[in-house]
Amino acid sequence: MVAYAMRGCLFILYCGLFAVPLKRISGYRAFFMEKNPSANIYLINLPIDELPLSETFKLRSRLMDFFTLQDIIAQDHAMLFEREGYNEKWYFEFVDFLKRKDILFLLSGK
């Protein structure tokens, strides 16, 4: 039992000293989340208020009655651009977020 505790302490010390990101060595889950684009699809169903987006984006989304990213993706592009409260900065932040999470392909189906 003590040997396992010592290994754990040495592992933590090693990570701290050499600044090895834990997600690199945490195994399958980190690999799956980073390498499999569909792994981040769950983000589109989370409330926009819980996502790491600007407060301006969140406010504009609420004003346009969008509460999840799925609401935005499902909207016809022509209708989206004509909505009151729409602006390009808001849309570019939306596209940038999808790109950073490797789920931009969800817009290509439109």
The 10s digit of each residue's pLDDT in 35-63 is: 676 789 999 999 999 999 999 999 999 99
Residue that wins the pLDDT comparison between 57 and 20: 57
Boundaries of domain holding 67: 37-101
Q: What is the distance between the terminal CA atoms of the chain, rounded to a whole angstrom?
A: 57
The answer on pLDDT for 75 being more than 90 is: yes
Residue 5 domain flag: yes
Tokens of 24: 């690199």
Go through 22-52 and write b for each residue having 16 or more CB atoms within 10 A of its CB, e for each that does not. eeeeeeeeeeeeeeeeebbbebbeeebeebe
Q: Quick one: pLDDT at residue 40?
A: 94
Residue 21 domain flag: yes
Residue 108 domain flag: no
The answer on pLDDT for 64 being more than 90 is: yes
Residue 110 domain flag: no
**Average of per-residue pLDDT across 66-94:** 95
Torsion angle of the four alpha carbons 33, 37, 42, 47, in this order, in degrees rounded to the nearest 10: 100
Q: Quick one: pLDDT at residue 59?
A: 97
Q: Quick one: pLDDT at residue 33?
A: 46
How many structural domains comprise the chain?
A: 2
CA atoms within 13 A on the CB side of 80: 18
Q: Quick one: pLDDT at residue 38?
A: 76
pTM here is: 0.66
CA atoms within 13 A on the CB side of 31: 4
In this structure, the answer to whether residues 50 and 24 fall within a common structural domain is no
The answer on pLDDT for 27 being more than 70 is: no
In this structure, the answer to whether residues 63 and 46 fall within a common structural domain is yes
